[in-house]
Chain A
Amino acid sequence: MTNPQNRSADPAAREMLVLAEELGAKTVWDRHDDLKPLCGFGELGLCCDVCYMGPCRIDPFGERAQVGACGADAHLIVARNLARAVACGAAAHSDHAREVVEVFRGAAEAGSSSGYAISNPEKLMALASEWGVESANRSGRHVAADLAARMASQFGLQDGPLIPLARAPEEQRRRWEKMGIAPRGIDREIVELLHRTHHGVESDPVALLRAAMRAALADGWGGSMIATDVQDTLFGGPLAIRSRANLGVLEEKQVNILVHGHEPVLSEMLVAASREGEMLALARQAGAEGINIAGICCSANEILMRQGMPVAGNYLHQELALLTGAVDLMVVDVQCVMPSLPQVAACHHTRLVTTSSKAHIPGAEHIEFDSHHAKRTAREILARAVEAFQHRDPARVHIPRHSMDLVAGFTNENLPHYLGGRFRAGYRPLIDAIAAGRIRGVVAVVGCNTARICQDSLHLALVRRLLSQDVLVVQTGCSAIASAKAGLLRPEAAMEYAGPGLQEVCAAVGVPPVLHVGSCVDNSRILLICSALVAEGGIGADLSELPIAAAAPEAMSEKAVTIGLYAVASGVFTAFTPVPRVAGSRVVRQYLEHDVERETGGRFLFTNDIEEAAQGILAHLDGKRKALNLAPMMYQDGVRSNASGSFRALSTFVPPAGLASLGCGKAQERSQLRPPEE
């Protein structure tokens, strides 16, 4: 077999890969190896299967066909393939949003009977006022029902603008208006984009990319943002919280249930049910000491952020976790769930349960989630897990002893409080730290794992490199889990990995140098943090002026492409690794890596070399700092630089002279009136 060292940087994963071999189980890595060599045309984006004359493929060496049967050239084909990926990614996030809005509406209409309650009434009221929902003298339920209806209407909106779009800085909105890419309605942009990629519709690659940005924006500032808002309203806004990550969180003596997928509606219920006395009693009857719910992928992030539930691992851990033989049941919903899971689960007693009406896996048991009976479904699933636990063979259980402490739960809503407390809440300490050269900038490192890249290796390389250069890192998704497993989400990590400037700030605030802000729909939180930095002022009047950047070092899914594109459309420099299927078109690369910057203020850097990505990001941050005339970095290569030592604007106090010295207080006269005590 391939050396596990090359497959994952994670010691637990390496251990499990050896075990997998022993068990004779095939994993994603094995299947990926079996497919090699991967299709070169596909990799370059040059294969077109849009119509049924084809598939047509363009010869990248210029020797054979340069256009498809219809006349589409390499640029159009690459752009069209990319656009379809974007549409699918946007659809995934937005359909997730639609699902949670439905649950939200159900909760509002049915009240307590739905099993869901609105646990964050402050957020509900804040959203109501933002969304123009009357809230005075109305019950939370009625407000929630109207809000849910308004949110739901965003999907079918025809003319826009999307309501959350107003949260973007004015300058960014002006750019979108000018380009004609301000999204009109979430579904509309996805549908239109798909239409435009149909055979014989949009034939201008750049026009198609702009349309793709429009759909991507409908995701970032629409679907994803709504999903985050609704989830925070229903299940509570996250607060900084401790937990643990990696396969070592599986409990030998407890019923282990893994939740995997994306939508927290069922996993929240499972967590709640697992804390019920009745369920615990059931588990104890079965000989278990308790019920342990841990997560994989973004489901993990959702219940980590709000409930502090342990994280079993990221995307590439989904099969490995099952191979431990310690998982009694894995429950999955949508997105990033490998169809291979039933085969892997079959190695042990592990049960696999699918729950989404949109996602069935042959070989898995399907218990369809119905928001009106969510609690019942949750209990039913727990009961199956307890039942499965009794079939667990302790002799075959192998739990890697790797697990790491972490602190997560940061959001655009709680960061201001952590930075300034109740009364001085705001981003000023962060902005000051950036302006004074303690922090170089803020970089979002997000995205997936992919079998093409040694698991976590690029996430960790990039994050550590950025930390050493005094860059504050914010993370979501599987990327955040990679850092969690490596200990980068511990506050102590500041002392171990951060440059001295960033260390000072982390020590002052008490935060880790890497802030975990949630799941992949929660990238919307990052957009809002950046917008808040613009609004508070001092380091740029627009997202594109801020010393910020984004990176997806191990991108795998179409959602990652969509996220990357909405970041670029929002003015953010975005390093994307590995290079997506754009290499076949000079025009597409030129536009996305260069020309788009003039239009949106952001651009992509496509590279397979993480050091090149790091260099690109650091150079970008320094460029933005220079453009804003911010102070030179306080520490260069860990040494206090003299250049910034003198950077301090002192307001000069000149005591008023002459008549002004009389002032208004007339203390002078008082001094006249008090003769000494004789």
Chain B
Amino acid sequence: MSRIIASAAIRGGHACVRRAETMLAEALGRHNRNTAIGFPSTAYALPIILALTGKRVEKLGDLEEAVGAARSWLPAEPTEKLWLPYLGGALDAGAATLVAQEAIEALKPLHGIPLEFDYWLGPTTDGILREQGIKLVDGRMPGFAACVGALPDDETAEQLARDLQERNLLVFMGANCAGETMAAQLNRRGVQMNWETFLVPYGPDTSSIVHALGFACRAAFTFGGLKPGGLEETREILLYNQRRVFAFVLALGEVDDEKYATAAGAINFGFPVIADTDIPEILPSGICTYEHVVSNVAHRDMPARAVEVRGVKIHTVEIPIPVRHGPAFEGERVRREEVAIEFGGKYTRCFEYLASRPMDQVQDGLIRVVGPEIGDVPEGARLPLAIFVEVAGRKMQPEFESILERHIHSFLSEPMGVMHLGQRDTVWLRISKKARDAGFRIEHLGTVLLHKLRNDFPAIVDKVQVTLFTESAGVEELYPTAAAAYQSRDERMGALTDERVEIFYSCALCQSYAPNHVCIITPERLGLCGAYNWLDGKAAYEINPHGGNLPVRKGDSVDPVLGQWKGINDFIRNASNGAFERFSAYSMITDPMTSCGCFECIACILPGTGGIMIVDREYAGETPVGMTFSSLAEMTGGGQQTPGFIGIGTIYALSRKFISADGGLARLVWTTTRIKQKLGDRLRQRCEELGKPGFYEKIADETVCTELEPLIEYLATVEHPALEMGEMV
């Protein structure tokens, strides 16, 4: 009966709050009240406390109020007889527990307890949040499973993890059962745990589960545009999670008071609890979409039962290969000692080439391996490889070849035990011994491509045939054709300018969480996420005319310098639900593009320099504008036009149309070394095109300075051209 759960949760809540109070008192005894406190690289302070109380905790002293609030939410434990209502109280105790646990986690470093050690990853930075959390809201990931405790044995642990991975679910792990943890079990099985494999071990204490729920709160802030504040705001944050994030808690092993209390906290988010033990159930719904607590579920059935209880049905594509597959396996690396066979890298020639053919020249479903198969060569052999994909379709166009070809990476990364890196002729491909032992052969690479291309692009791909050359003769014979194709595609793209097309493409893929935001993608300005260019938009529209990408006719030019057209402005007004009247393709000052929240970089003006800086979302440090990326992102995102701040895809910096109305690339005075590395020679080349000798070297980065005053001095020293261009506003 649920009174037992409520009693345990309320007891657990009291105990947690007491622990937080003790730790806080000790910390206050040894440290100043103004001691900074918080998790690394986040703009959301302690996110659960921020979401539930509306208060930013940044100093040790601030925790007193937060823990005090938690204490005030704690009800008395229900009596054995003649009890008073306990559901609301148990939920409140759950919320209090989360606040207390977050306080405990934040206090740990002051007590000399690390948050990140061994395979434990500790709190999530905003950079990872933006990259991974977006999947939860844009539909690539149905939700997350917060696994609390440990399984009976290592093998079952891996089984469960793989079952969850296969369903695209992000797996958070925390807490322990008598010292045993699921992460330790996976570690012993050699399972790779990190954000790329969707397996994220937070910490061995139950309190570490708050990082999973903090992730949920921050997803609501970052992508839902929700602001913390009063009760009503908190309610919206929780409801956002209930509606959009299909998460649940798997209670593995014995459930103690603190775990019950944490579970009650999770239920506030609409995340139900599925237990493998025989704990009481709470079947009626209302806070969660369906049952709140379901128990006694066999490990084998847990993922399926959990998603059902959460109210989802997950579709998976069946591919007849002998290993598991799915995006979660994309991030898995095959290490040298695990290699059964290897192609490319720095050892052999390995490339992939996709070409379109007339319908009658493709034999659909034909997969040929020309050369030795995996069993024909010794273990660890290095072979050359040409992945030659020929497709035909009534709506297939040569322009789409490069788009389909780009997908080969993710397709071939998805089978477990296959590692694919690079593209075109820089491919590096490994097949692991485990995959081979499971029966995976080179031929199966073709099987995967065949199924994925037909499944993912049914509108343009009718027929697919794949030829896999694994001997030098075939590889070398095909290579010149492929190389010529790469070159001609690049030339065609290079010739594509905004002036030469009449149609731009909109991208509203993010409107599900940023309702007023809309990207306008032009040939010379790709989407701010960096994932979508003009050609993608065109192909996407071809594939699905009712999808997120629509053609927008430019119409009459309103302002050629700013990059405003009548057709585009009309569209923006409509698509932003009337929020915005105008849009400038080439300015970050006048009617700049809005930002959803998943921008790769932020460009913002640096007052006093006449220039701008570009900072990427993985850069955690301070910037000359006095804000970290996370704080900047708060200002820039949320679907608002913020003059002087824009979200951009990194390679937009290379475009001739990069803020051309505001002075262009010559305004760039500061960026991160990561961006410099990423753009590399292409950036040098663009700098040279500007006709300002030595310009590239004049762009400062964090190795030069991270503050405005020294930057201005530096710019003066190197005579950066921006100084002479005058202030932008």
Contact = CB atoms under 8 A, between A and B. Distances in A.
A interacts with B: yes
Contact of B87 (A509, A651, A670, A671): A509
A662 B131 CA distance: 12
A492 B82 contact: yes
A420 interface: yes
A52 interface: no
Contacts of B430: 676
Interface in A637-678: 648-672, 674-678
Given A663-B134, A668-B330, A651 B312 contact: yes
Contacts of A655: 139-140, 168, 314-317, 327
Contacts of B444: none
B333 A674 contact: yes
B81 to A, nearest CB: 7
A240 B84 contact: yes
Contacts of B334: 676
User: Which of A421, A655, A658, A666 has the most C-beta atoms of chain B within 10 angstroms of its own C-beta?
Assistant: A658
Please indicate which of the listed interface residues A428, A436, A666 has the most CB atoms of chain B within 10 Å of its own CB: A666
Contacts of B307: 653
Contact of B410 (A418, A431, A504, A668): A668
Interface in A478-518: 490-492, 504-505, 507-511
Contact of B283 (A240, A407, A431, A508): A508
A658 B456 contact: yes
B531 A664 contact: yes
A558 B335 CA distance: 87
Contacts of B604: none
B547 interface: yes
B596 interface: yes
Interface in B128-157: 130-132, 134-135, 138-140, 142
A436 B288 CA distance: 14
Contacts of B246: 653
Nearest to B91: A421
Interface stretch (B55-63, B468-476, B495-503, B535-543): B535-543
B343 interface: no
A678 B336 contact: yes
A433 B291 CA distance: 11
Interface in B577-622: 596, 598, 600
A423 interface: yes
B594 to A, nearest CB: 14
A405 interface: yes
A130 interface: no
A422 interface: yes
Contact of B285 (A429, A492, A677): A429
B300 to A, nearest CB: 20
A507 B1 contact: yes
B658 to A, nearest CB: 19
B479 to A, nearest CB: 22
B95 A664 contact: no
Interface in A24-65: none
Given A421-B88, A672-B421, A650 B131 contact: no
B409 A436 contact: no
Given A417-B88, A433-B284, A507 B2 contact: yes
A419 interface: yes
A420 B456 contact: no
Nearest to B333: A676
A432 B242 CA distance: 15
A504 B330 CA distance: 44
Nearest to A240: B84
B359 interface: no
B287 A428 contact: yes
A422 B95 contact: yes
Contacts of B283: 504, 508
Contact of B287 (A424, A490, A669, A674): A424
B228 interface: no
B302 interface: no
A652 B246 CA distance: 11
A424 B268 contact: yes
Interface string B473-504: 00000000000000000000000000000000
B313 A651 contact: yes
Interface in B419-439: 419, 421-423, 428, 430
A511 B290 CA distance: 20
A306 interface: no
Nearest to A430: B286
A650 B289 CA distance: 10
Interface in B248-297: 268, 282-287, 290, 292
Given A507-B1, A667-B196, A420 B598 contact: no
A242 interface: yes
Given A418-B88, A507-B2, A666 B315 contact: no
B510 interface: yes
Nearest to A429: B286
B686 to A, nearest CB: 20
Contacts of A430: 286
Contacts of A653: 139, 142, 246, 307, 312-315
A438 interface: yes
A536 to B, nearest CB: 10
Nearest to A416: B88
B196 A672 contact: no
B19 interface: no
Nearest to B283: A504
B548 interface: yes
A425 interface: yes
Contacts of B330: 667-668, 671
Interface stretch (B23-31, B230-238, B368-376): B230-238
B596 A660 contact: no
Contacts of A491: 82-83
A436 B285 contact: yes
Interface string B74-87: 00001001111111
Given A664-B509, A664-B529, A421 B268 contact: yes
A122 to B, nearest CB: 12
B510 to A, nearest CB: 6
A665 B238 contact: no
Nearest to B423: A672
A490 B543 contact: no
B419 to A, nearest CB: 7
B87 A510 contact: yes
A423 B312 contact: no
A666 B89 CA distance: 42
A665 B82 contact: no
Contacts of B664: none
A672 B331 CA distance: 9
A431 B527 CA distance: 43
A511 B131 CA distance: 44
A535 to B, nearest CB: 15
Contact of A421 (B87, B168, B316, B421): B87
30 contacts: A240-B84, A419-B88, A423-B95, A424-B238, A424-B239, A425-B88, A429-B287, A430-B286, A431-B286, A432-B284, A433-B285, A507-B1, A511-B85, A651-B313, A652-B315, A655-B314, A659-B549, A660-B548, A661-B456, A662-B531, A663-B140, A664-B531, A665-B134, A665-B529, A666-B131, A667-B330, A671-B413, A672-B423, A675-B333, A678-B335
Given A423-B95, A508-B2, A675-B333, 12 more contacts: A436-B284, A510-B87, A651-B312, A652-B313, A658-B540, A658-B543, A659-B536, A664-B596, A665-B598, A671-B196, A672-B421, A674-B333
Interface of B: 1-3, 6, 52, 73, 78, 81-92, 94-95, 130-132, 134-135, 138-140, 142, 168, 196, 231, 234-235, 238-239, 246, 268, 282-287, 290, 292, 307-308, 311-317, 327, 330-331, 333-336, 403, 407, 409-410, 413, 419, 421-423, 428, 430, 455-457, 509-510, 527, 529-532, 536, 539-540, 543, 547-549, 596, 598, 600
Listed from nearest, the 7 A-B pairs whose CB atoms lie closest are: A429-B286, A421-B91, A664-B529, A510-B86, A664-B598, A657-B456, A676-B333
